[in-house]
Amino acid sequence: MDSLTSQKCVACKADAPKVTADELVELIKEIPDWKPITEESMLRLRRVFEFQDYSSAVQFTNKVADLAEQEDHHPAILLEWGKVEVTWWTHKILGLHMNDFIAAAKTDLIFNQ
């Protein structure tokens, strides 16, 4: 499989396939800091990023927002002092799609720069 960060999110339709349980096991190995969670009966990917101050957290949030616009795939972002919680899932299929793993990996890349 190509590295997740080298892939691009694709337009997703309501009948797009969700990631299977077997695929989830393999894909999560590439983004080990992300946690698959179930919220409102939907599987999602969540990670909390920590920062030394509010300004750094805001800058990171803005970079993730830019990523979301570039990929045309948008997460839930909770910004607080010293931390940012990012949650990816695909609204149209009410669960996880390959796009979510691509976006999560690219979010990690932003954080590690």
pLDDT at 11: 86
Tell me, what DSSP letter sits at residue 90?
Answer: B
pLDDT at 33: 97
**What does the alpha-carbon distance between residue 7 and residue 54 come to, in Å, rounded to a whole number?**
31
**What does the alpha-carbon distance between residue 45 and residue 82 come to, in Å, rounded to a whole number?**
20
Identify the structural domains of the chain with CATH numbers, from first to last.
18-112 (3.30.1360.20)
By DSSP bridging, strand 42-50 and strand 83-88 are antiparallel
pLDDT at 2: 58
Per-residue pLDDT of the chain (113 residues; tens, 9 = 90+): 459 999 999 888 888 999 999 999 999 999 999 999 999 999 999 999 999 999 999 999 999 999 999 999 999 999 999 999 999 999 999 999 999 999 999 999 999 99
pLDDT at 1: 43
**Helices (H), ranges, the chain:** 21-28, 54-71, 98-112
